[in-house]
Structure 1
Amino acid sequence: MLRQTLQQKLLQKLSPQQIQFIKLLQVPTVSLDARIKEELEENPALEDGSLANMNDPVEEYPDKDPDDDFNSDENTYEDEFSVDEYIQEDDYKDYGSGYDSDDDDNKKEMPIAIQDSFFENLQNQLDLLALSNKDYLIGQQIIGSLDDDGYLRRPIPSLIDDLAFSQNIIVEEKDVEEMLKVIQEFDPAGIGARSLQECLAIQLRKKDQENSTIQKAMQVVENYLDEFTKKHYDKIEKQLGVNSEELKDIVNEILKLNPKPGDSGAVAGKQLHIIPDFHISNNDGVLHLTLNGRNAPELRVSRSYQEMFEHYEKAEKNDKKMREAVQFVKQKLDSAKWFIDAIKQRQQTLLKTMNAIMEYQYEYFLTGDDRMLKPMILKDIADRIEMDISTVSRVANSKYVQTEFGTFLLKSFFSEAIQTESGEEVSNKEVKKILEECIANEDKRKPLADEKLTDILKEKGYSIARRTVAKYREAMNIPVARLRKEL
């Protein structure tokens, strides 16, 4: 039975402006340019002030409380509007002048080396061979089926089916196997392997086969690879009948091999380029924080759209098309104004959050010593700046700060507290630093087990459990003691 009922609910919903601000807040500096360009393309009422008429009078963007969060009456755009609201062009013009300029970074372009890709290199080697048309097509199919790391993980029967469907040629398994052996002779060595064992064996076969160390290394790869990866060196010594010095040479020979030959060419062309969002400088013991100039673009509302809106506002509104035109222009002007507000609020929130982090970790930013890091969680900063924890999280998870000690993700400054025997609370990063130093200075022939590391920490006054030590070690990507063993 269908019935109509009247219900009253109290809900919390984000306004479109708040959603826009949240999305902009988590965008890193390196992606902000693209986001602004996208908005400029979509909204003709929004202009890039740096490209507009620079002879216009420029006035600094009015101050705005970053905690307003678009909830005040002046930011609640009702259906009724005033033309005067949109003629304040100068209020939205050049507000980026107070930030750290990044003009030099904009002018400098990093040169990119022109080189053949991994697959182009293999194709060039295939082109140099005198092959029949069938073998050439098989070779092309094999090269196209390789993964980025250089391995062939597609089964031979599937390659035969691919050739039948795509090239309309019928081949046998032995034809593909023979052509695969040809490609496995290509550079880089180890290409076209179907397993790690085959990859290492291909590389060893290209070395001097008269060398006894190479011969023993081949035996290890073919027969004792599992023991080798688990570093059961004593078992390998017994099986091969070699002493520790000979085994050391064998192990070193295997470690020289490339387990991912396809990545060798690709990695050379890739460069990780991080653009910091903040800069912290030390001026005689006083820290100075600046925001990257790219976070302060010169945006303004289009003068032509304002004049168009003023003209439409004064015109006769009885015409339906005229009313639609007024509504369209109003919508674009609203959107431009909201976007400029969101960018401005983003800048203020970033500076407010980073300044609180800098003040909290002042001693660390002065010295760069990890042991000076205080225990700090998101709530500590959120309480200081009187914002929500989620806002601090969005800033910390995607923003970088450049210091004289390096460039760091803000998230790396947050850590949990550990209590020492004296009752003092220290950051778990301090414990990780001590663990890292202990492992770096250990005897690699007899690495320190987690139990021994726990005892060392207790001697230093850090009473933590062995499982916590294991958790910290894994977080630092340090393997267990057995896998750290060296000859």
Structure 2
Amino acid sequence: MLKQNLQQKLLQKLSPQQIQFIKLLQVPTVSLDTRIKEELEENPALEDLSLTNLNEPEEQYPDRDPDEDNFNNEEERGEMDEFNIDDYLQEDNVNEYGSRYDQNGDDEDDRKEIPFAVQSSFFEMLQSQLDMIPMSDKDFKIANQIIGSLDDDGYLRRPITSLTDDLAFSQNVMAEDEEVEEMLKLIQTFDPPGIGARSLQECLLIQLRRKDSNDPIVTKAILVVENYLDEFTRKHYDKLEKALNMSSTDLRGVINEILKLNPKPGDSNEVNTKQMQVIPDFHIKNSDGVLILTLNAKNAPELRVSRSYQEMFQHYDKASQKDKKLKEAVQFVKQKLDSAKWFIDAIKQRQQTLLKTMNAIMHYQYDFFLTGDDKNLKPMILKDIADKIGMDISTVSRVANSKYVQTEHGTYLLKSFFSEAIQTESGEEVSNKEVKKILEEHIGKEDKRHPLADEKLTEILKDAGYNIARRTVAKYREQMNIPVARLRKEL
């Protein structure tokens, strides 16, 4: 049975403008330019001063009295209904801003294109080697199928039977498993060495067998990989010495030979310089002991709402008669104008929030920015900054997770300045980054033949006045990507 009833609900929802601001806030500087270009393409009522010709005379937009326009004239109204948007994307301005931020050569950088290395892909390189070998059409199709089935790291992780089925169903090539295996062995002779392996062991053996077979170190390395790979990966060197009847000096040479091999041959052809470009959002300069904070100029684009669109809206809105098409035109122009204003406001609010947050971080960690010494970092959590600037913790988090600051001591992710507090025996609170720095120093100076276990590191910290548990030491060590003592052992 259907029933109707009235209910009152109190809901908390974000407005479209708030959502737009939140999304813009977490965009790093390196991606902001792309985001602005997308908005400019979507909204013709939004203009970028750097892309607009400002040399047009102001007289081309004389003040007009809307009442003088005769919208009763059908011919004029028809022309107005079929207006061309491109005719209005000319020039002029209201709501412009953006010139009071740090230049630092950033505007000049805007005009430069970032060069990228031109290099053949991993699969193209394999294909070019295959094209050089004379073979039947059937073998060529089998080899092509194998190359296309390789993972990005160069391994073949699909069973031979699956490749045989794929050849039959997709290319109508009836091949035996032995034929596919034979083509795989051919591809394993290609560069880079180790390509087409089905396991780490096979990958290392392919590389070793392409070395000088008369070298006794290579021969022993093959023996270790074939029969004692598990002991090698676990660094049970004492077991290897006994099993192979080798001295520690000879074993060290064998291990070094194996460590020269590439466990991921497919990655060797990738452009190693293809890392994420870091453009600092802030610059901090030390002027005789006084820190000066500036915002990167890329964060302050010179955007404006198109005056031609505003005039267009005024004329349409004040028309004495409006048919359906004219109403649709008014609605379209109004929507674009509102969207442009919201976007400009969001960009402006983003700038203010970035500066406000970074200024609070700079003053909280003033000693660190003066010296660059990690030991001067104070314990600081998101709530500390949020309370200082009167904003929500989530807002500070969005700023800290994707923004960088350039200082005289290096470029840092804002997130790296936040850390938990640890209390020393004297009752003083210090940053856990200070403890991590001490751990890193002791591990760096340890005897690699007898590396320091977590228990020993805990004792060292306690002797230095840091009373923390062994599990905390293990957690910090893992956060620094330092393996356990057994895996740090060297001969």
TM-score (norm 1): 0.91
User: Per-residue deviation at 1:442?
Assistant: 0.2
| Amino acid in structure 2 at the alignment position of 1:392 | V
Please say if 1:327 is aligned against 2:331.
Answer: yes
Residues 159-180 of structure 1: per-residue CA shift (max 9 Å, x gap): 1111112221111111111111
Please say if 1:346 is aligned against 2:346.
Answer: no
Question: Bigger shift: 313-322 or 452-461?
Answer: 313-322
> Hey, what's the Cα distance between the residues in 1 that align with 2:57 and 2:390?
36
User: Per-residue deviation at 1:432?
Assistant: 0.3
Q: 1:371 maps to what in 2?
A: 375
Q: 2:89 maps to what in 1?
A: none
Question: Bigger shift: 89-98 or 419-428?
Answer: 89-98
For structure 1, list consecutive stretches of 5 or more residues without a partner in the other structure.
Answer: 59-88
> Hey, what's the Cα distance between the residues in 2 that align with 1:321 and 1:270?
51
Contact 1:275 1:400 in 2 (8 A): yes
Please say if 1:94 is aligned against 2:94.
Answer: no
Q: 1:95 to 1:57 in 2, by over 3 A?
A: farther
> Hey, what's the Cα distance between the residues in 2 that align with 1:419 and 1:458?
12
Q: Give the counterpart of 2:235 among 231, 235, 250.
A: 231
Contact 1:49 1:94 in 2 (8 A): no
Question: Bigger shift: 14-23 or 312-321?
Answer: 312-321
Residues 128-172 of structure 1: per-residue CA shift (max 9 Å, x gap): 112122212111111111111111111101111111122211111
| 1:156-167 mapped onto 2 (5 Å cutoff) | 156-167=160-171
Q: 1:14 maps to what in 2?
A: 14
User: Per-residue deviation at 1:323?
Assistant: 2.7
Contact 1:190 1:199 in 2 (8 A): yes
Q: 1:27 maps to what in 2?
A: 27
Residues 272-306 of structure 1: per-residue CA shift (max 9 Å, x gap): 32111111111221111111111111111111111
Q: 1:256 maps to what in 2?
A: 260
Q: 1:188 maps to what in 2?
A: 192
Q: 1:56 to 1:381 in 2, by over 3 A?
A: farther
Q: 2:384 maps to what in 1?
A: 380
Residues 460-482 of structure 1: per-residue CA shift (max 9 Å, x gap): 00000000000000000000000
> Hey, what's the Cα distance between the residues in 2 that align with 1:9 and 1:183?
67
Q: 2:208 maps to what in 1?
A: 204
> Hey, what's the Cα distance between the residues in 1 that align with 2:451 and 2:42?
60
User: Per-residue deviation at 1:317?
Assistant: 4.4
Q: 1:137 maps to what in 2?
A: 141
Q: 2:477 maps to what in 1?
A: 473
Q: 1:397 to 1:317 in 2, by over 3 A?
A: farther
Q: Give the counterpart of 1:124 among 124, 128, 144.
A: 128
> Hey, what's the Cα distance between the residues in 2 that align with 1:462 and 1:389?
29
Residues 353-390 of structure 1: per-residue CA shift (max 9 Å, x gap): 01100110011011111110000000000001001111
What percent identity do the matched residue pairs reach?
A: 76
RMSD: 1.6
User: Per-residue deviation at 1:396?
Assistant: 0.6
Contact 2:93 2:307 in 1 (8 A): no
> Hey, what's the Cα distance between the residues in 2 that align with 1:32 and 1:358?
23
Q: 2:67 maps to what in 1?
A: none
Q: 2:86 maps to what in 1?
A: none
Q: 1:43 maps to what in 2?
A: 43
Question: Bigger shift: 300-309 or 313-322?
Answer: 313-322
| 1:102-113 mapped onto 2 (5 Å cutoff) | 102-113=106-117
Where 2:272 maps in the other structure, the secondary structure is helix
Where 2:294 maps in the other structure, the secondary structure is strand
Please say if 1:399 is aligned against 2:400.
Answer: no
> Hey, what's the Cα distance between the residues in 2 that align with 1:468 and 1:9?
47
Contact 2:93 2:306 in 1 (8 A): no
> Hey, what's the Cα distance between the residues in 1 that align with 2:406 and 2:148?
42
Q: 1:202 to 1:191 in 2, by over 3 A?
A: same
Q: Give the counterpart of 2:463 among 449, 459, 484.
A: 459
> Hey, what's the Cα distance between the residues in 2 that align with 1:7 and 1:109?
58
User: Per-residue deviation at 1:91?
Assistant: 4.7
Q: 1:57 to 1:396 in 2, by over 3 A?
A: farther
| Amino acid in structure 1 at the alignment position of 2:481 | N
> Hey, what's the Cα distance between the residues in 2 that align with 1:206 and 1:411?
46
Contact 1:279 1:403 in 2 (8 A): yes
Contact 2:94 2:306 in 1 (8 A): no
User: Per-residue deviation at 1:94?
Assistant: 3.2
Please say if 1:437 is aligned against 2:444.
Answer: no
Please say if 1:297 is aligned against 2:279.
Answer: no
Q: 1:411 maps to what in 2?
A: 415
Matched residue pairs, number? 457
User: Per-residue deviation at 1:312?
Assistant: 1.2
Contact 1:57 1:90 in 2 (8 A): no
Q: 2:394 maps to what in 1?
A: 390
Where 2:298 maps in the other structure, the secondary structure is helix
Q: 1:325 to 1:113 in 2, by over 3 A?
A: closer
Where 1:92 maps in the other structure, the secondary structure is coil
